[in-house]
A and B are shown apart, each in its own frame.
Chain A
Amino acid sequence: MVLAASVGSDLFRGLLQGMPAGAVYALVALGFVLTYKTSGVLNLAFGAQAYVSAAMYFKARVLWGWGTVPALILSVFILAPLIGLLLERLIFRYLRSSGAVQKLVVTIGLAVAIPSIFDVLASFKVLSGRTPVGVINNGATVFYDPFGVYAFSRNELVAMGTAVVATLGLAALFRFTALGLRMRAVVESARMTEMNGINAERISAFAWTLSSLFAGGAGVLIAPRFNTLAAPDFFNLMVVAIAAAAIGRLLSLPLALAGGVGLGVLIAEVNTFLPRWTDQFTWLRPIQDNLTPAMPFVVLFAVLVFLPGIRRSHDAGDPLASVDPPPRTLGAAPPDPGRARVAMVVQFAIVAMLGYVVWTQADKSWMFLITQAVVFGTIFLSITVITGMAGEISLCQGAFAATGAFAVFQLVDHYNMSVLGAALIGAVIAAALAALLSLPIRRLGGVWTAIATLAFAFFFDAVVVRLPFVGGGSNSLLTGTRVPRPVLGPWDFSDDRAFLVLALVVFVVTAVVVTQLRGGTFGRTLLALRGSKPGAESIGISGGRARLTAFAISGFIAGLGGALLAMQQKNVNYTNNFAPFAALFWLVLVVTFSMRTVEGAAVSAATYSLLDSVVLKGTFLGWLLRDTSRIPGIFPIPSAWRFILFGLGTIQFARHPEGVLEYAKRRRSARAAQRRETPPGEGPGPPTAGAGEGAEARPAAEVTT
């Protein structure tokens, strides 16, 4: 009886403990649902929007000494809606007819760019060691303990109350008002809504303003939960909250509230009972140590994989899409063979010249950066396979790359294995991991695959990296995760120039393999599946097998690249190189340039590694001016601009999913074709029927290199 009473009271305490955290998850989940219902966008920039308002509130309230109300008005009621309005006017208005995956990638870019834009414009620096203040006086210091079991702080009570009121208010908005109905109608089909005399643009602008206002409010309310004020915290919290939102398939506000609170309570109960059980059952200890921090990501993954509604939900299409012309192809038009030969010679000459300059002139630091660019080129080729060829958005490429890097560290450190052999084994492990991951998510639609891989990336970050046989456990804290350079017969790659050659050989071989795969049966199979899954299956293509193979190949390439990166830096450097947020930036870069081509991976890698040193620091300008003293005062440009430039670069992806490089090629080909068709002296003339950009295009598999 005593034991039962104790279990009962512990359950009750866990319930109360979990509710404040659950309310925070619910607030973010509600915002997620609100954005999705009113704009049709799975907005991964929600956390970034919340961060901006929280930071603005902190700046006004604490640094400028404003009162709570004016600080709230500025951060939540002016800045947040303004951001929403700008996002709609400048970006999402033009993306209404884009696919859900394209919109998702844009929001990933915005998640990267928005915090940096705010930090640069408002001169805001990441605040660590100071807990942000709430909206109520003494919110963190005054407590209420209604049941004598758990004391709620005033901040927690405000968050819980707001979550309930917001659920009721938003549900009423959607259920009982014409505006709510119109917002849902615009998401379904803006064109059909306009046919009924409704101004879809105004409705859409209002929807974005409202959801952004909610993001701002949520940001200010949840900020006191952290002991710091940094954008990644908000992003992580948002990923957790997606689990709650996903329970209601992003459509149900009450289910999002229940999901958020349920998640909070579940985590609290596990934290309450696991320590007690581990005293009795020691085999539970590793689970307690490792699983608890990753609980939200495990729940998110489980929700995505096991909830039948998620598996069945596919990207909603505009009902009018059936009367639209066929979608245009994404590959560049085949260039004139003569021009292509000239372009190839010119490109080869430029690369050879750059290679010569690097080989003869580059000092140690430049050699390091250039080698790093080549290695990242290999890693980015994994994105070319999984996203460019298979059309899947994988947000855990960093985890696969880290698997390769850690494998080299472990195998060399513990088993004294050959470094190159360990790298190959690491790549195989990464391939197996990727293949394994693709199995449970094989039936998920595009957007959900992206979220599931994001959950896995965070799970890897929170759990797998901490396992002693992966990240080295406490040993690595003392000794680091050192990785030696390889030696192969007479070649010692500890010399930087020799290692550059090795990295180049790996990149070229991988690039050739990727090109061959794309032009062969596998590439065409993926092309067919991406074009139409029912169409592909009707001729005997197995979508599941093709997807599994694509994940495995992509994992292998990422693992190999990760191992090379660890060798190059002589250390795994997990946080700098492979953390989930860094890997998001990889995707943003590759899709912006060109996700389908080797050239896209190479240019993205060069940009990733060299933009800071070559462009932002003014080095290149100084070289052009031949005098470093003449470099304008705006240099060096803060490296945050790197995130801003390429975060915003994804907007290009939504408009031109082929990437800026392919788009430029297509435009050049279209112009050349028009010139060929126009007799001399007649001027450009009107374009021929169907000879737009898309009409000039040819399949990527045939023409891209």
Chain B
Amino acid sequence: MSLVLSVRELRKRFAGIIALDDVSIDIDEGERVGLIGPNGAGKTTFFNCMLGMLSIDRGSVQLDGKDVTGLSVSRRARLGIGRTFQRIELFPDSTVRDHLFIAERIRRGNGRLWKDVMGLGRPRRDELARCDEVLELLGLGPMADEPIERLSLGQCRLVEVGRALMTEPKVLLLDEPSSGLDRVETTKLADTLRDVQAEHGFAMLLVEHDVELVASFTTRCYVLDFGRIIVDGPSHEVLASPEVRAAYLGSMEPIQ
């Protein structure tokens, strides 16, 4: 398998605090990788630095062997880094299908101003068919024409996944997708993500608090604590390691 995403020695400092201290991760094609860590460990900062939403002090991000460190967020997205957000970032004035359609149109890159002026910018049948295909895959078909204000939180998260899928990502970054969901919803979301990945074959990086989800969903995982990767390896081994327990629970001795 070849590397799809490689982050090397990423460093980010806020005033006097080192939020990320030479963080490096690698993700192979089609792999499901987890990134866990206690609150304030730097997970979201890492995400934002990797995507170009925050500037970095040093380090590099490579996608499919190409250095994307200096590129804008939108350029990285067009090259194949898709993402979802911990706090929902949908478009309030659009329907579910519209979210997917605009992503599809941007991916195709055929939205020209003159076409809009000539009335050729409206959704085409093949574009809508592809949107409907992904909506069906995610189980959102029946609510394609609903405005997002009528959706549950779990459905909103699926719309974000669907929107990201339309960009045909090489790697999909999921930022705490279980946040705000109950156990049943989380399991359903994980099953859907597995199905979608099986169909599309992209890699995934899952940032998550829900250790159970990480254990069942990912094959490999990294643990971030105080801005440093403290452990990495197969998920079940990492989650059982004393360092991870210490990072999450502190250095308390078990009660006898």
Query: Which A positions have Cβ atoms within 8 angstroms of B?
Result: 322, 325-331, 513, 516-517, 519-525, 527-528, 530-532, 534-543, 549, 690, 694-695, 697-702
Whether B90 and A538, one on each chain, are in contact in the complex, defined by CB atoms closer than 8 angstroms, is no
Q: A520-B115, A538-B85 are in contact. List 5 more A-B contacts (CB 8 A).
A: A516-B121, A519-B121, A527-B93, A534-B73, A701-B93
Q: What's the Cα separation between A520 and B120 when bound, in Å?
A: 7
Q: Could you tell me the distance in whole angstroms from the C-beta of A673 to the nearest C-beta in chain B? A: 14
The answer to whether B95 and A326 touch across the interface, beta carbons within 8 angstroms, is no
Asked if B91 and A532 make an inter-chain contact with CB atoms under 8 angstroms apart, the answer reads yes
Decide: A521 and B166 in contact? CB cutoff 8 A: no
Q: Is the CB of B90 within 8 A of A535?
A: yes
Which residues of A sit under 8 angstroms from B151, Cβ to Cβ?
Answer: 326
Q: Are B53 and A698 in contact (CB-based, < 8 A)? A: no
Among B95, B156, B164, the residue within 8 A (CB) of A539 is B164
CA distance A329 to B91 in the complex (A): 9
Contact A523 B116 (CB under 8 A): yes
Tell me which residues across on chain A come within 8 A of B115, comparing CB atoms.
Answer: 520-521
Residues A538 and B118 in contact, CB atoms below 8 Å apart: no
B167 engages A329 (CB within 8 Å): no
Contact with A along B88-109 (1 / 0, CB 8 A): 1111111100100111011100
**Can you list 27 pairs linking A and B with CB atoms under 8 Å apart?**
A325-B149, A326-B92, A329-B93, A516-B118, A516-B119, A516-B121, A520-B120, A522-B113, A522-B116, A523-B116, A524-B94, A525-B102, A528-B91, A532-B89, A532-B91, A534-B73, A534-B89, A535-B85, A535-B163, A537-B73, A538-B89, A539-B82, A539-B102, A540-B75, A540-B78, A702-B95, A702-B98
Residue in B74, B85, B93, B120 whose CB lies within 8 Å of A540: B74
Say yes or no: A540-B98 contact (C-beta < 8 A), given A521-B111, A522-B111. Answer: no
When chains A and B are docked, how far (Å) is the Cα of A527 from the Cα of B93?
Answer: 7
Residues of B within 8 A of A519 (CB): 116, 121-122
- How far apart are A702's CB and chain B's nearest CB, in angstroms? 7
Given A517-B116, A702-B95, A525 and B90 touching (CB < 8 A)? Answer: no
Give a binary string over B63-82; 1 marks a CB under 8 Å from any A CB, 0 the rest.
00000000011110110001
Taking the closest CB of chain A, its distance from the CB of B204, in whole angstroms, is 15
Shortest distance from the beta carbon of A428 to any chain B beta carbon, whole Å: 15
The distance in angstroms between the C-alpha atoms of A538 and B116, with both chains bound, is 23
Q: Does B240 contact A (CB under 8 A)?
A: no
Chain B's closest residue to A515 (CB) is: B119
Residues in B whose Cβ lies below 8 Å from that of A542: 72, 74-75
* The residue from B77, B85, B149 contacting A329, defined by CB atoms under 8 A apart: B149
Contacts of B116 in A (CB 8 A): 516-517, 519-523
Cα–Cα distance between A532 and B160 once the two chains are bound (Å): 12
Q: Which residues of A contact B184 (CB under 8 A)?
A: none
B121 touches A539 (CB 8 A): no
In the bound assembly, the distance between CA atoms of A536 and B167 in angstroms comes to 12
Contact residues of A: prevailing secondary structure: helix
Residues of B within 8 A of A326 (CB): 88, 90, 92, 148-149, 151, 156
- Chain A residues with Cβ below 8 Å from B85 are 534-535, 538
Bound-state Cα–Cα, A695 to B77, Å: 32
Of B72, B88, B93, B120, which contacts A331 at CB under 8 A?
A: B93
Return chain A residues, CB-CB under 8 Å to B154. Answer: none
Q: Are A699 and B102 in contact, CB atoms less than 8 angstroms apart?
A: no
Which A-chain residue is minimally distant from B86 (CB atoms)?
Answer: A322
Collect the chain A residues with CB atoms within 8 Å of residue B75's CB: 540, 542
A173 to chain B, nearest CB (A): 28
Contact between B149 and A327 (Cβ–Cβ < 8 Å)? yes
A329 near B102: Cβ-Cβ < 8 Å = no
| Cβ contacts B164-195/A at 8 Å (1 or 0 each) | 10110000000000000000000000000000
B148: A residues at CB distance < 8 A: 326
- Report if B125 contacts A (CB, 8 A): no
User: Are B106 and A516 neighbours in the complex by a CB distance under 8 Å?
Assistant: no
Alpha-carbon gap, A185 to B83, bound state (A) = 34
Contacts of A695 in B (CB 8 A): 149-150
Query: In the bound complex, what is the Cα–Cα distance between A322 and B112 (angstroms)?
Result: 36
Task: Verify if B198 is at the interface (C-beta below 8 Å from A).
Answer: no
B113 near A549 with CB under 8 A, answer yes
Complex CA gap A524/B117 in Å reads 14
Interface-centre pick from A329, A521, A530, A542 (highest chain B CB count, 10 A): A521
A700 and B111 alpha carbons, distance in the complex (Å): 20
Q: Is the CB of B111 within 8 A of A327?
A: no
Contact of A701 with B94 in the complex, beta carbons under 8 Å: yes
Which B residues lie within 8 Å of A699 (CB)? 93-95, 98, 147
CA–CA, A532 to B102, complex, Å?
Answer: 13
Q: Is the CB of A540 within 8 A of B147?
A: no
Assuming the contacts A329-B149, A520-B115, A699-B147, asked whether A535 and B91 have C-beta atoms less than 8 A apart, the reply is yes
B87 within 8 A of A: yes
* Chain A residues within 8 Å of B150, by CB: 690, 695
B117 A329 Cβ-Cβ under 8 A: no
- By a CB distance below 8 angstroms, the chain A residues around B113 are 517, 522, 549
Residues of B within 8 A of A538 (CB): 51, 73, 77, 82-83, 85, 89, 163-164
Closest CB-CB distance, B140 to chain A, in whole Å?
15
Which residues in B have their C-beta under 8 angstroms from that of A698? 95, 147
Say yes or no: A531 contacts B88, CB within 8 Å: no
Which residue of chain A is the closest to B173 with respect to CB atoms?
A538
Known: A328-B149, A521-B121, A534-B53. A539 touches B98 (CB 8 A): no
A701 / chain B contacts, CB cutoff of 8 Å: 93-94, 98
Which of A520, A690, A699 has the most C-beta atoms of chain B within 10 angstroms of its own C-beta?
A520
Residue from A517, A534, A695 with most neighbouring chain B CB atoms (10 Å): A534
**A541 CB contacts on chain B under 8 angstroms:** 74, 102, 106
How near does chain A come to B69, taking the closest CB pair, in angstroms?
17
- Complex Cα distance A215/B116, Å? 48
Known contacts being A519-B122, A698-B147, is A322 close to B87, with CB within 8 Å?
A: yes
Complex Cα spacing A374 to B87, Å: 45
* A532:B90 contact, CB within 8 angstroms: yes
Chain B residue nearest to A533 (CB atoms) is B89
Cβ–Cβ < 8 Å partners of B166 in chain A: 539
**Given the complex, which residues of B lie within 8 Å of A530, measured CB to CB?**
91, 93
Task: Please give the distance in Å from A186's CB to the nearest CB on chain B.
Answer: 24
* Chain A residues near B91 (CB-CB < 8 A): 527-528, 530-532, 535-536
Of the candidates B94, B103, B118, B167, the one whose C-beta lies within 8 Å of that of A531 is B94
- Min C-beta distance of B254 to chain A, whole Å: 35
**Whole-angstrom CA separation of A484 from B98 in the bound complex:** 47
Q: What A residues does B82 contact at CB under 8 A? A: 538-539
Contacts of B160 in A (CB 8 A): 535
A328 nearest in chain B by CB position: B149
Are A524 and B90 in touch, CB under 8 angstroms? no
Nearest A residue (CB) for B166: A539
Distance (whole angstroms) from the CB of A522 to the closest CB of chain B? 5
A327 to B88, CA, bound (A): 12
Question: Complex Cα distance A689/B163, Å?
Answer: 27
A84 to nearest B CB, angstroms? 33
Enumerate chain A residues within 8 angstroms of B103, measured Cβ to Cβ.
539-540
**Cross-chain contact A697 with B90 (CB below 8 angstroms):** no
Closest to B113 in A: A522
Assess the B93–A531 pair: CB atoms within 8 A: yes
Which of the residues A322, A540, A543 comes within 8 Å of B106, measured between beta carbons? Answer: A540
Q: Are B122 and A697 in contact (CB under 8 A)?
A: no
Q: A527–B90 Cα gap in the complex (Å)?
A: 11
**What residue of chain B has the Cβ atom nearest to residue A535's Cβ?**
B89
Sorted nearest first, the 5 A-B pairs with minimum C-beta distance are A520-B121, A521-B111, A520-B116, A531-B91, A535-B89
Interface of chain B residues 34 through 83 with chain A (CB within 8 A): 51, 53, 72-75, 77-78, 82-83
